[in-house]
Chain A
């Protein structure tokens, strides 16, 4: 087990190193004239040179790379040109917001996705199956940004069920910082007004992301259950005279869960991806929106910072999934 853990951790760091290198290429090597792109073609020469010096773009590529790596190891991405703050500082504010949204959406997705997937498989080719398949396929096919717009139109404007956007209403200040997750922090501070307000703001983007995630989880649960239900040991369980409920939930579901857990890990990646679009539409101050704004304003440091952080979060979730595997499947011995 320990040996596997070490191996898996090593792979994790190799991937992170690769990610960082790819990001370097994308930010330093490919763009012909990053500064020109930021300042415009007609910027005065001395301004361009000053900025190049600030960003270290006048150095040879090798030196740029080592400087870049050093920065990342110290978790120092420099100053964001757009917000004029340290990028690491910005991310400390925005990342928990995205994490909170992602967890919220994932909980919705798991609570609905798994049972619906199981029912779908058990009632294969019957009405409930068809309904759930269309419903989940719709979720998978849904452009997140467009669904967000529809939610704003219907749930905010027409039904007044959710606020227009943001993370808290304008009159309410964030709770005492502990985890950065407002729902948890407000509970720690026993401030239920903030809790309710934060929850209220999560509903819109949370439902959008939750539905899409649910669709993925539901599909994997269904196909995994279908496969398992064909196995010999399910027949054995039936021969034993077990109740159908026991056959499905104890014998089939436990086995079907293994690919579902993988999917949940992968879907965390989709969540980060979806949060980019959803946060942008809902004006939710998370890492996704921060990344988009950095991209659009060609804020190099912030781009590098947010891409690196998103990739690390993604790789970390994959690592956790791999470790969860071992807990679920006794056949896997590391």
Chain B
């Protein structure tokens, strides 16, 4: 039996901007099991990064968590005090690597110090030991000449190297959950696979869980065991990778998969229409204006999550009453 690590329940987040209230997350549900490699897929602005920020309680102004629960190891993070989250969760239990690794590293502090700082802040360790451990960590992420890289500054690194430094930093404290927010999007194609493979290896080695956030289904296909698909602030489908790829249920997921080139398809299909403005999101199912199967009920009420097969959940009226 798999052990539940993180559960996001009915999470709702709004951003208060000059154009009005952006309804960024519309009641998202998500369960991640210990030790798995979970992928969260969706287009830019669908709310996947906001979800990640919420898990670390780092939603930036003018965003506000309106309601919901984020239960990590049985405790609701949103009910913890700021200081508790900082001390007990961030760095120790949950960490994150980001899309632009060079921007994510402090330009005026050398690489080694940035890693050992994370160690010292979270683990009972002396400065000397931390520095030694830093070098070991850099070796583990396959950085050649780790001593030299530790002394260098972020601007002297390539994107791939910088992401390795980030990975070393964020895994240094052996967290239970590592969030990887578009970890390879900004990297050269040739480097992407290396970084993904490295992540895969380290998950096993460190016994960590990974929440991988990406807009790129092929990245998910290479790495993840389970996948969640988000659209315009809603979770539309969750299931095991093979279910999602071979047997997508939600019209949006189907559209996404049809848009990927493969041997079977000679003609790529695009999803008609465009992503809705979340200040005035469509009523009911937010996908209905673009959906070829839309019925009148789709406009009225948001569909519930339905289990269409084991561990495969879809939020769509097409499957209502089928089972």
Contact = CB atoms under 8 A, between A and B. Distances in A.
A244 B105 contact: no
Contacts of B118: 240-242
A233 B90 contact: no
Interface in B79-104: 86-87, 89-92, 95-96, 98, 100, 103-104
Contacts of B89: 241
B106 interface: yes
B147 interface: no
Contacts of A235: 58, 98, 104
Contacts of A239: 56, 58, 90-91, 95-96, 170
Interface in A247-280: 250-251, 254-255
Q: Is the interface of A mostly helix, strand, loop or mixed?
A: helix
Interface stretch (A10-18, A72-80, A290-298, A326-334): A326-334
B90 A331 contact: no
B105 A236 contact: yes
Contacts of A233: 103-107
B91 A232 contact: no
Interface string A81-121: 00000000000000000000000000000000000000000
A158 interface: no
Contact of B87 (A241, A328, A331): A241
A231 B109 CA distance: 14
A331 B95 contact: no
Nearest to B103: A232
A242 B98 contact: no
A254 B95 contact: no
Q: Is the interface of B mostly helix, strand, loop or mixed?
A: mixed
A242 B58 CA distance: 13
Given A239-B170, A240-B118, A331-B153, A255 B58 contact: no
Nearest to B57: A238
Contact of B58 (A238, A250, A251): A238
Contact of A232 (B87, B92, B98): B98
Interface string B108-143: 111000000110011000000000000000000000
A241 B86 contact: yes
A136 B298 CA distance: 56
Interface in A209-253: 231-233, 235-244, 246, 250-251
Contacts of B34: none
A151 B155 CA distance: 50
B88 to A, nearest CB: 8
Contact of A241 (B90, B107, B108, B153): B90
Contacts of A242: 86, 91, 117-118, 121
Nearest to B152: A330
A329 B109 CA distance: 10
Given A240-B121, A241-B121, A328 B90 contact: no
A159 to B, nearest CB: 44
A330 B106 contact: no
B163 to A, nearest CB: 12
Nearest to B107: A331
B62 to A, nearest CB: 11
B257 interface: no
Nearest to A238: B58
A331 B56 CA distance: 30
B107 A329 contact: yes
Given A236-B98, A330-B153, A330-B155, A243 B86 contact: yes
B155 A232 contact: no
B107 A238 contact: no
A241 to B, nearest CB: 2
Nearest to A247: B86
A331 B155 contact: yes
B169 interface: yes
A233 B154 CA distance: 11
Contacts of A237: 106
A232 B58 contact: no
A244 B89 CA distance: 14
A237 B89 CA distance: 14
Nearest to B170: A239
A242 B120 CA distance: 10
Interface string B196-208: 0000000000000
Interface string A312-334: 00000000000000001111000
Contacts of A238: 56, 58, 86, 90
Nearest to A231: B103
Interface string A19-32: 00000000000000
A251 B106 CA distance: 7
Given A238-B90, A240-B122, 14 more contacts: A231-B103, A233-B103, A236-B98, A236-B104, A238-B86, A239-B91, A239-B96, A241-B91, A242-B117, A242-B118, A251-B109, A254-B109, A255-B106, A330-B107
27 contacts: A232-B103, A232-B104, A233-B103, A235-B58, A235-B98, A236-B104, A236-B166, A236-B169, A238-B86, A238-B90, A239-B96, A240-B90, A241-B87, A241-B91, A241-B118, A241-B121, A241-B122, A242-B117, A243-B86, A243-B121, A250-B109, A254-B108, A254-B109, A255-B106, A329-B107, A330-B153, A331-B155
Interface of B: 56, 58, 86-87, 89-92, 95-96, 98, 100, 103-110, 117-118, 121-122, 153, 155, 166, 169-170
Complex A-B, nearest 5 residue pairs according to Cβ-Cβ distance, in ascending order: A241-B91, A241-B90, A232-B103, A233-B106, A240-B118
